Amino acid sequence: MNLTLFDLDNTLLAGDSDYEWGQFLIDRGILDRADYEAQNAAYFEQYKAGTLDIHEYLGFALGPLAAHGADELGCWHAQFMQARILPMITPAARAIVHRHLDAGDLCAIVTATNSFVTAPIAREFGVPHLVATEPESAEGRFTGRVLGTPCFREGKIRRVDEWLAALGHRFGDFTESVFYSDSHNDLPLLERVSRPVAVDPDALLAAEAGRRGWQVLSLRRQT
């Protein structure tokens, strides 16, 4: 059996779900544009540059979840899926996921974006496992804090190892392990698998993939 891991934002999605969730809440008037939009954009630029302090960012990003109840959040997320996420899913992205699922691979989406935002997206793709940053909750509400290790950079390796261990597996059990990602932030996990694949890579990852002879592909085509 093979292990196949997919990054989500700007890999399976032609955009960033975490950034778009913030923008969606701004556009709906749920968050104040003046207070939130500039900071959201600044953190997104830090992520792309590889300078993001993940704990600082998560304190910012998880705050809106703590401010609202589950019913409201669920309603908004359903609208978010229709308005923002479905248009970012290309036929090519769906096809590559289903190719690995049909082959019987153990498949997971591995993403720094929190599981509230990403669990419905994983279900849309039909991927049975999600390894994501986990928002803490208590008494049915989010607290605004992170539960455990953020699924970011080296944290992705730890979280994947924990997930595999819970299933009774480890990396060495698989004939092949594959990770698809767009971002240089994912170099630690790309280096861990037996077949790293750069998908619509950022400039730093494209250069690294070229230097190491890694496969490069695009999922942005619409047909």
Task: Write the pLDDT tens digit of every residue in 51-74.
Answer: 999 989 999 999 999 999 999 999
Q: Which domain holds residue 190?
A: 3-217
Confirm if 173 and 187 have CB atoms less than 8 A apart. no
Domain count, the chain: 1
Q: Is 32 a catalytic residue?
A: no
Q: Quote the tokens at residue 135.
A: 């928002």
CATH of the domain at 95: 3.40.50.1000
| The pLDDT of residue 222 | 53
Q: Is residue 53 part of a domain?
A: yes
| The pLDDT of residue 25 | 95
Q: Is residue 102 part of a domain?
A: yes
Q: Is 7 a catalytic residue?
A: yes
In the set 9, 16, 18, 202, the catalytic residue is 9
Q: Which residues of the chain have pLDDT under 70?
A: 221-223
Q: Is residue 16 part of a domain?
A: yes
Confirm if 189 and 179 have CB atoms less than 8 A apart. yes
Confirm if 43 and 57 have CB atoms less than 8 A apart. yes
Q: Is residue 223 part of a domain?
A: no
In the set 7, 18, 182, 200, the catalytic residue is 7
Q: What is the CA radius of gyration of the chain?
A: 17
Instruction: Give percent of the chain with pLDDT exceeding 70.
Output: 99
Q: Is residue 134 part of a domain?
A: yes
Please give the order of strands across the beta sheet that includes 106-114.
141-147, 129-138, 106-114, 3-6, 177-181, 195-199, 215-217
Q: Is residue 222 part of a domain?
A: no
DSSP H helices in 62-166: 63-66, 70-80, 91-102, 115-125, 154-166
